């Protein structure tokens, strides 16, 4: 407790110094906070609304969320309706006209990448359908490469004084990212075609990038327990085409994958980082993909 | 500690929402406690949510107004059913209330199995978050509560069972959407529970306890940056225990003196 109070005091002492930072950035998810830090460095003070342990669809209202939203110069979110349950109401309460959607103060990452699983026709009966496609775009590092230049450009636009520095940082980041992409491609070559089961349909972009073969889903609709016929069907499918691993995000309940791994001998249960901060290795965007690939390779014989 | 959130623009609407909820829930809660039907608010809220899900499943036209109308109608139907139950089988009323809560909750899961989008509306109805309330939302609730309060104190609804059930259903359906099920339950039961022995000033003491708890709870949640609803629930409980201790001491002392004199 004393330690906690001391660290709180320490943070309070630092605040006036940090106030010199030029940009106050509100990031909806950890991956965009990490990207802003890469691209803006000391120029930005980043506040991240959700952690890797939280489902970004839902969020509890804390006073600091509204306070940060009120003072933000830039809001960086995934978009594609991922935050539809809380961002609009938070923006309404924040009352900050500078970061409304459509202004320069609002950056939607999903606008810069090709979306997967965009429904052909909109039908409520289809169930859990995102009309703009699957919003979990951060799991393909090529998407990060697409988003970074646009985000850097936006930073330069709202903070023109430091534009040259943002350009330099983007160049540096892009170079490191390209070489990491090459390294990951070699490392993950053996993962191509690896059959997996997913907890929920949040892995489409990772699957596409690495060529993983998604055989089934444990929980087809979020928050709704799977029916016994769905589970029986899944077990039947797994008999015909055995999967190597069942993967889930840190915020997803492990019970369903535990059940499945007991039913199917040899099936490895993996808790993937899913975003920055999702495990001890995923401290930044590079660590996120290093760790994801290492965990998946660990499930191979 | 974090002073960012200590901003009247952030905490003000939440505190007003709290005052509104307390205005009806403190007197209603005393009646709930007297009748021994503690879980009736959970049951009514869940039934209101179920009504909205049914409306979706039938794909009736959806907008905010129809959603509210279905929610209030479902809650009223549920309240009337429970009223009938109190008249016929008063001895098992609490068991029936508990059972209707889990029936409504399970029915929601069954309906959601075919229409997961309804789940968002169910969540909206049951998990109101006190910090995200804005002033526009408070106006209709304030008008409804003014009607409820005048019926309550004007017509002596505490003695009219049917009127109690109707007013209760209306009050709960509005408040869960503002502040969520946990805060509604806490605002109903804890003040009533803490002041049950304080005689004449009970209602006043219960109001005071509730108002102080919302004010302190919101401040603490801003300073420690914790979810506001859960913090207020705990502050209500702590202040409630302290209040009942205080009342016990004040009411016990004269009695002890009186005995000593003999």
Q: Where are the domains of chain B?
A: 3-261
Same domain, A59 and A130: yes
d(CA A179, CA B71): 57
Residue A1 inside a domain? The answer is no
Amino acid A84: pLDDT: 87
Average pLDDT over residues A212-241: 85
Assess whether A136 and A282 both reside in one domain. no
Least confident of B3-7, B199-203, B204-208: B3-7
Interface probe with B: pick from A49, A54, A62, most Cβ of B within 10 Å: A62
The residue out of A159, A183, A207 marking a domain boundary is: A183
| CATH architecture assignment, domain B3-261 | Orthogonal Bundle (1.10)
Domain carrying residue A256: 189-298
Q: How far is CA B184 from CA A233, B178, B210, in A?
A: 42, 9, 12
Residue A22 lies in a domain: yes
Number of domains in chain A: 2
Q: Is the pLDDT of residue B112 over 80?
A: no
CATH number of the domain encompassing residue A196: 3.40.50.1980
pLDDT digits (tens, 9 = 90+) for B32-55: 999 889 899 899 989 988 887 887
DSSP-based three-state secondary structure for A64: helix
> Is residue A10, in this structure, part of any structural domain at all?
no
Distances A171 to A34, A156, A233, B209 between C-alpha atoms, Å: 16, 14, 49, 60
Domain co-membership, A51 together with A168: yes
Sequence-distant (6+) residues with CB within 8 A of B166 are B76, B79, B80
Query: CA-nearest residue of chain A to B120?
Result: A85
Whether the CB of B123 is below 8 Å from some CB of chain A: the reply is yes
Report yes or no on A5 lying in a domain. Answer: no
The verdict on A100 and A139 lying in the same domain is: yes
- Please return the burial class of A122, using the count of CB atoms within 10 Å of its CB with bins 0-12, 13-18 and 19+: exposed
Q: What's the length of chain B?
A: 262
Q: Does A87 touch chain B (CB under 8 A)?
A: no
pTM of the model: 0.80
| Same domain flag for A129 and A209 | no
- Tokens matching residue A192: 């191509």
Task: Tell me, yes or no, whether A118 and A257 share the same domain.
Answer: no
Residues A263 and A238 in one domain: yes
DSSP assignment letter at A4: H
Q: Contact at 8 Å (CB) between A300 and A194?
A: yes
Residues in chain A, how many?
301
Q: What is the helix (H) or strand (E) element at residue A108, kind and residue range? A: strand A106-108
Residue A64 within any structural domain of the chain? yes
Instruction: State yes or no: pLDDT of A247 exceeds 90.
Output: yes
A68 touches chain B (CB under 8 A): yes
Chain A environment of B116 (Cβ under 8 Å): 127-128, 221-224
pLDDT > 90: what percent of chain B?
Answer: 52
Average pLDDT over residues B203-218: 96
Query: Is the per-residue pLDDT at B261 higher than 50?
Result: no
ipTM over 0.95: no
Higher per-residue pLDDT: A37 or B51? A37
Please tell me whether residues A157 and A27 are part of one structural domain. yes
- What are A39-62's pLDDT values in tens digits? 999 999 999 999 999 888 888 788
Coil, helix or strand at residue A25: strand
For residues A108-135, give the mean pLDDT. Answer: 78
Tokens of B84: 């009938």
């Amino acid at each position: 407790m004393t330690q906690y109070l001391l660290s709180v005091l320490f943070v309070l002492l630092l605040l006036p110094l940090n106030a010199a930072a030029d940009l106050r950035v509100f990031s909806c998810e950890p991956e965009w906070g990490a990207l802003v830090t890469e691209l803006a460095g000391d120029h930005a003070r980043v506040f991240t609304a959700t952690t890797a342990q939280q489902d970004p669809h839902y969020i509890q209202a804390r006073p600091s969320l509204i306070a940060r939203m009120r003072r933000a110069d830039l809001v960086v979110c995934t978009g594609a309706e991922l935050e539809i349950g809380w961002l609009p109401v938070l923006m309404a309460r924040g009352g900050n006209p500078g970061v409304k959607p459509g202004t320069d103060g609002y950056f939607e990452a999903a606008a810069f990448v090709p979306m997967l699983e965009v429904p052909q026709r909109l039908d409520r009966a289809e169930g859990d359908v995102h009309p703009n496609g699957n919003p979990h775009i951060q799991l393909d590092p090529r998407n990060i490469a697409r988003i970074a230049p646009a985000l850097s450009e936006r930073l330069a636009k709202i903070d023109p004084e430091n534009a040259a520095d943002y350009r330099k940082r983007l160049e540096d980041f892009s170079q490191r990212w390209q070489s990491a992409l090459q390294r990951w491609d070699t490392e993950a070559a053996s993962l191509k075609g690896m059959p997996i089961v997913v907890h929920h349909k949040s892995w489409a972009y990772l699957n596409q990038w690495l060529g993983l073969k998604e055989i089934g889903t444990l929980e087809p609709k979020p928050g709704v327990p799977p029916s016994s016929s769905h589970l029986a069907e899944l077990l039947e499918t797994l008999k015909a085409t055995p999967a190597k691993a069942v993967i889930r995000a840190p915020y997803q309940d492990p019970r369903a994958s535990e059940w499945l791994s007991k039913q199917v001998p040899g099936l490895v249960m993996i808790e993937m980082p899913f975003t920055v901060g999702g495990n001890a290795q995923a401290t930044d965007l590079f660590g996120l993909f290093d760790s994801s690939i290492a965990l998946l390779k660990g499930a191979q014989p | 500690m974090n002073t960012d959130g200590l901003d009247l623009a952030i905490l003000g609407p939440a505190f007003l929402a709290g005052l509104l909820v307390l205005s009806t829930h403190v007197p209603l809660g005393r009646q709930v406690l007297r009748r021994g039907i503690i879980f009736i608010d959970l049951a009514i809220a869940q039934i209101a949510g179920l009504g909205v899900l049914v409306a979706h499943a039938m794909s009736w036209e959806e907008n905010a107004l129809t959603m509210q109308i279905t929610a209030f109608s479902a809650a009223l139907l549920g309240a009337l059913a429970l009223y009938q139950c109190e008249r016929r089988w008063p001895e098992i009323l609490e068991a029936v209330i508990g059972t209707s809560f889990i029936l409504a909750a399970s029915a929601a899961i069954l309906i959601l199995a075919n229409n997961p989008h309804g789940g968002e509306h169910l969540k909206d109805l049951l998990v109101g978050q006190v910090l995200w309330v804005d002033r526009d939302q408070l106006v209709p609730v304030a008008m409804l509560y003014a009607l409820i309060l005048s019926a309550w104190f004007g017509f002596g609804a505490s003695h009219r069972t049917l009127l109690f059930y109707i007013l209760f259903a209306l009050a709960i359906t509005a408040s869960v959407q503002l502040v969520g099920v946990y805060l509604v339950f806490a605002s109903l039961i804890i003040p009533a529970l803490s002041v049950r022995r304080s005689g004449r000033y009970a209602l006043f003491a219960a109001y005071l306890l509730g108002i102080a708890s919302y004010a302190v709870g919101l401040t603490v949640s801003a300073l420690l940056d914790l979810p506001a609803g859960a913090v207020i629930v705990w502050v209500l409980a702590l202040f409630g225990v302290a209040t009942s201790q205080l009342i016990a001491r004040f009411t016990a002392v004269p009695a002890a003196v009186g005995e000593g004199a003999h």
